[in-house]
Amino acid sequence: MNNILLPILSEKENNEEFLEQALKGTREVILLIVVDTESKEDFGFTTSHIHSARTTLEEIKITIGKKRKKCEDILEWGNTFSKIMNIALIKKVDKVILKKQENQLFEELVKKLKKEKIDVEVI
């Protein structure tokens, strides 16, 4: 596996164990923050949480840098599912890796991505 898309959906992605598993065997990582203006629950980042999203992203980039992986970060506005799917297709990633979350919106996101033939791994 060469390149992965790692959407940052919460601050939970900034976890040493998760990142260790997610980065195994990868050469390039694309970090994606989606500012979901429609989000009504504790899922994704809303406009009021942009600062914490950027902080989480910067901390993850430091960890990735220590592992000598190439890293790109993207900030998008809009629907979380659409943005993850579009970036995965545009960047031709081998896999989308998500940190497991216990909520209905997360389950729906995974189901929709798999339905669109996006290779998804939940850790």
Question: Quick one: pLDDT at residue 10?
Answer: 85
For residue 70, the cross-strand partners are 28
The CA-CA-CA angle for residues 109, 80, 16, to 5°, reads 80
**Which CATH code is given to the segment(s) 3-122?**
3.40.50.620
What is the length of the chain? 123
pTM over 0.85, yes/no: yes
Tens of pLDDT along the chain (123 residues)? 689 999 998 888 999 999 999 999 999 999 999 987 665 555 556 666 788 888 999 999 998 988 888 999 999 988 999 999 999 999 999 999 999 999 888 999 999 999 999 999 999
Q: What is the DSSP letter of 94?
A: S
Separation of first and last alpha carbons in the chain? 16
- Structural domain boundaries of the chain? 3-122
